[in-house]
Structure 1
C-alpha cells in the first residue's frame, strides 16, 4: 500500500476498445451548438428546484406511514449522507470533464462504449421514472387544489390506468378505464418550455424555486406552533414484517427517499451550457444537496409533529397537515406552491433527460433525431417532444407506488457507477488536472487507487438497492409481477437496442473502423486496390 501514485495504468482492451479520449470530448463540447448561458446561481437553483419536489411533497408521507414512522428523519439523514459521497464524486468528474451527458459521458471516457451505453440506459430509466413520479404527485396536489374551490374532476381523469389493490401491500394490481389527465397535461406544458429554450426555462425555474421555497418556509413557521410532541412517539415504531418500521424500516424508507435527492445529478448534465463549468457545476451539485437536506429534515419534523404518521399515506401529506392546523388560506397556498413547485422539479428532470438523450444520439447509439438541435431555439426540440410524449403517457397509466421503487433502483445503480468511475479515472489517469477533488483521500493498492469517498458512495448505493430488490421479489411472490417485469423488459430492450442499432451506428465505432482500414490499405496488393476502385 502507498499514498504515492505509481506509473499510470493504461486501460486494457487493445485496439478493439471503443473509448473516447479527452481531446475528443473537449472538441465535441465546443461544437455541440448549445447556448452557454447558465451561471453558478442558476445551476444551484436548478439543483434545488429539482430536489425539492416529490420527496417532501409526496413520498415523505408514504415512507413515514408505511416504513419508518417519525424516524423518517433518520432515513433522510442516511439517504443524504449516501448522496453526499456520490455528489462529491460528481463534483470531481464534472470539474474534470465539463461535458453534457453526465455519468454517461464519464463512463465513455473511462470504461468504453458498452459501459457508457449501460450507464446511459440506466440514467434514462432514472430520469424517466422520476419525471413520471413527480408528475403523478403534481396531479394529486392539483386535484386537491381544485377540490378546495369546489371543482371535482371525475375519478377516471385523476387516477392512473394501473392501480394497486388497497390493503394488498403492493402484491395485487387492478387495471381500468382511467387516465391521469392533469399529470399528462403538466408533462406536455413542461416539454413545451424546454423546447423553447434553456435560458427561458432557467428564468422560469428561478421564479418557481423562490415561490415554492417561500411557501415551505411559511408552512414551517406556521406549523411549529401546531406540533404535538406525542406524535413523535414512539420515534422508532416496533418492527413488523416486510420492512415495516423498526431498524429495517428506517433503511427501507431511506432507499425510497434516495431518489428524492437525485435532482443534484441534473446539474452535471448542464455542464455544456454553463458559463464556467469547472467551478460552477461542483457548486451547484454540492450546494443544492446541502441546502435541501436541511430543509427536508425541518419539514419532516414539523409534518410528523402535526399529523400521526399512520395517516400520511396519501398523495398530498402537506395538505392534510394544513387541514389539521385549521388554516384554509394556508392550505390553498401549500397546494398552490406544491402544484407549481413540482413543475420546477419536472422541468429539471426532463431537462436532464433530454440532454442525456442528446449526447447519446450525438454518439450515434440512438437515432439522430435526439441529437438534432433546433436552429432557432438552439435546443434538442424534436427529441424533447418525443421524450415528453413518452413520459406523459407513462404518467397517465402507471401508479406512483411502482414508480418509486423503479426510480430508486435506477438511481442507486447510476450513483454506484459514478463512484466507480472516479476510482477508474484516478487509477488510469492520475496525471489529469482536477479543479475539484473528492475529500478524505485514498491509498494505492497493487496499482489501483482506492478512494474513501467513492468506496463509501458505492457501499451506500448497495445498502439502498438491497431492500428495493427484496421488495420487488416480495411483490412477485405475492402475485404481482409488474415491478420486476417492467424492470426486466426495460433492461432487455436496452440490450437489444445496442446490439441491433447502437454498435452499428456508433460514430466512434465507425471512426475506429475507418482508421483501421486506412492503416491496412497500404498493405493491400495493387491489383486488389484497382479492382476495388473499379467496383466503386
Structure 2
C-alpha cells in the first residue's frame, strides 16, 4: 500500500502540472523573507518584550529561530526528494498516507487562511492610520466589521482582491512585486538599525530577564522567555510558503533547499538585531503599543519616523499577505489535484498558467472574512497550526528514511535523525506554552476536517480510483 501511495504521488509530482516554472532560488528566498518579515518585526517585537520577555525577547527569537531552523532543514530534505506544491500536506501524503495528509492539509488551510485575514486586518489598520497622518480619513462605517458598529472593513476587503488579481496575472509578476516590496521594507529596517545604533543605552537592557523563563499568572496568561518564544513564532511561519512553490521553481531540487534555509537564516538574524536594538533605545516597559518601532524612534527624537515606519509596515504586510494567499492557493490546488476537494478547482488557465478558479475562491472567502469578521485572538491559532505542520514534516523525514531508504535525496539532513528529532522536541515544547483556548479552537477545527474527510474526500480520492 505504501509503495503504491509513493508511486502515485511521485507520478503526480513529476508530471508537468501546467504551472509556469519561472522562480529562481533568489525568488524563493525573497518569497520566504516576504512571508516572514512583517507583523512580527514591527509589532510582536515590542509586544513580546513589554508583556512576556523583556529585553530577553532576543532569546525568545533565538529559540523560535532554532526550532524553525530544524524544521527548515527537514522541509529542505523533503522538498528536494518528494517535491510537489502542497508543502507539508504533500510530504505527509507520502510519509503517513492520505488521512494524515488531509488532516495536515486542513491545518494548513487554517494557518494560511486565518493568517491572511488577520494580516489584512492589520494592514487595514496601518493604512487608515497613514491616511490620517496625511490629513485624510475614511468614514468609520467602512473601516469596521458589522459586529463593531460598521458595515465593512473596506481596506481589508479591498487589499485581498488587489492581491488576488495579482496572483491571477501570473506567478512571475507576483514574485516581482514581492521582491520590490521586500526591498522597501528591508530598507526601512536598515534605516531603523542605523538610527537606533547611534542611540543605544545599555541600562535599558537591565533587568535582562524580568519575567524569568516561564510562569503562569492567576488569569491564565503565560509570561517569560519561553512564552515569548511561542508568541513570536508567528514571525516565522511564512517560510513554509517557499515549499508550496515547488511546481513553479526552475530547479526545485536545488533551489527549494536554498530558498528555505536562506530565508530562515536571514530572518532570524534580522529579528535578533531589531529586538536587541529596540529594547536598547527605550525601556521594554514602554513598548506595549501597536507600533513599537515608530514609538521608539519618536521617543529618541526622530519625529518623522511614523511615516517611515508606516511605509515599511504597509509594504511588509503586503508581502506577507501576498505570500499567504499564494501558499493557500497552491495547497488547495494540490488537494484538488488529489481529489480530496473538487477537481473543478485544479484547472490551470492555459494563458496565465495559474489556477484561476482556486485563486478566485480563496480571494472571495478570505475577503469576506477580513471585511466582515473581526478575528481578535483567533489569529493565535495560526501558531499552533504552524507548529503542528513543522512537527509532521520532521516526523516525515524520519519515517521516509526508514520506509524509503533508497529514495533519491539531492539534499540530506546532516546528523540524521538528530535534526528532525530536535525539530520535533523544540516545536512540540513551544506548543506547551500556548494558551488553552488556542488548543480548544485547534481541536474543533481538526474535528470539522475529519468529518469532511469521511463525508466527501475519502470517497473522491484519486488514490481510491
For the criterion TM > 0.5, the same-fold answer is yes
Q: Secondary structure at the match of 2:341?
A: coil
Q: Give 1:486 shift.
A: 4.2
| 1:344-493 equivalent positions in 2, closer than 5 A | 344-399=319-374, 401-441=376-416, 451-468=417-434, 471-473=435-437, 486-493=441-448
Q: Give 1:502 shift.
A: 0.3
Residue 306 of structure 2: which of 331, 334, 340 is its match? 331
Match of 1:180 in 2: 153
Equivalent pair of 1:47/1:263 in contact (CA under 8 Å): yes
2: CA distance, partners of 1:158 / 1:226? 37
Is 1:294 matched up with 2:269?
Answer: yes
1: CA distance, partners of 2:66 / 2:118? 23
Residue 192 of structure 1: which of 155, 165, 170 is its match? 165
| 1:11-410 equivalent positions in 2, closer than 5 A | 20-22=5-7, 24-159=9-144, 176-177=149-150, 179-238=152-211, 241-242=216-217, 249-399=224-374, 401-410=376-385
2: CA distance, partners of 1:289 / 1:410? 18
Q: Judging changes above 3 Å, is the alpha-carbon distance between structure 1 residues 201 and 66 closer, same or farther for their aligned structure 2 residues?
A: same
1: CA distance, partners of 2:414 / 2:404? 18
Instruction: Tell me how many residue pairs correspond in the alignment.
Output: 463
Q: Give 1:247 shift.
A: 9.9
Moved more, 421-430 or 206-215: 206-215
2: CA distance, partners of 1:429 / 1:336? 49
Q: Give 1:27 shift.
A: 4.4
Q: Give 1:489 shift.
A: 4.0
Q: Give 1:106 shift.
A: 1.1
Q: Judging changes above 3 Å, is the alpha-carbon distance between structure 1 residues 185 and 229 closer, same or farther for their aligned structure 2 residues?
A: farther
Equivalent pair of 2:53/2:211 in contact (CA under 8 Å): no
Q: Deviations over 1:81-132 (max 9, x none)?
A: 0010000000000111121111111111121110110111111111112212
Q: Which runs of 5+ in 1 are unaligned?
A: 1-14, 163-174, 442-450, 474-482, 511-536
Equivalent pair of 2:70/2:419 in contact (CA under 8 Å): yes
1: CA distance, partners of 2:219 / 2:31? 34
Q: Judging changes above 3 Å, is the alpha-carbon distance between structure 1 residues 120 and 350 closer, same or farther for their aligned structure 2 residues?
A: same
Q: Judging changes above 3 Å, is the alpha-carbon distance between structure 1 residues 193 and 344 closer, same or farther for their aligned structure 2 residues?
A: same
Q: Deviations over 1:378-429 (max 9, x none)?
A: 1111111111222223333555651342000100110000000001000111
Q: Judging changes above 3 Å, is the alpha-carbon distance between structure 1 residues 307 and 342 closer, same or farther for their aligned structure 2 residues?
A: same
Equivalent pair of 1:48/1:264 in contact (CA under 8 Å): yes
2: CA distance, partners of 1:400 / 1:255? 19
2: CA distance, partners of 1:385 / 1:24? 26
Equivalent pair of 1:85/1:454 in contact (CA under 8 Å): yes
Equivalent pair of 1:131/1:346 in contact (CA under 8 Å): yes
Q: Which runs of 5+ in 2 are unaligned?
A: none
Equivalent pair of 1:40/1:283 in contact (CA under 8 Å): yes
Q: Secondary structure at the match of 1:55?
A: helix
Q: Deviations over 1:494-523 (max 9, x none)?
A: 11211111011111111xxxxxxxxxxxxx
Equivalent pair of 1:132/1:403 in contact (CA under 8 Å): no
So what's the TM-score if we normalise by structure 1? 0.81
In angstroms, what is the RMSD of aligned CA positions? 2.4
Q: Secondary structure at the match of 1:491?
A: helix
Q: Give 1:302 shift.
A: 1.7
Moved more, 112-121 or 184-193: 184-193
Q: Judging changes above 3 Å, is the alpha-carbon distance between structure 1 residues 156 and 503 closer, same or farther for their aligned structure 2 residues?
A: same
Equivalent pair of 1:365/1:506 in contact (CA under 8 Å): yes
Q: Judging changes above 3 Å, is the alpha-carbon distance between structure 1 residues 490 and 247 closer, same or farther for their aligned structure 2 residues?
A: closer
Q: Give 1:66 shift.
A: 1.9
Equivalent pair of 2:143/2:150 in contact (CA under 8 Å): no
Q: Secondary structure at the match of 1:20?
A: helix
Q: Secondary structure at the match of 2:433?
A: helix
Q: Judging changes above 3 Å, is the alpha-carbon distance between structure 1 residues 244 and 291 closer, same or farther for their aligned structure 2 residues?
A: farther
Equivalent pair of 1:140/1:315 in contact (CA under 8 Å): no
2: CA distance, partners of 1:439 / 1:70? 33
Q: Judging changes above 3 Å, is the alpha-carbon distance between structure 1 residues 359 and 366 closer, same or farther for their aligned structure 2 residues?
A: same
Q: Secondary structure at the match of 1:236?
A: coil
Q: Give 1:230 shift.
A: 3.0
1: CA distance, partners of 2:276 / 2:58? 7
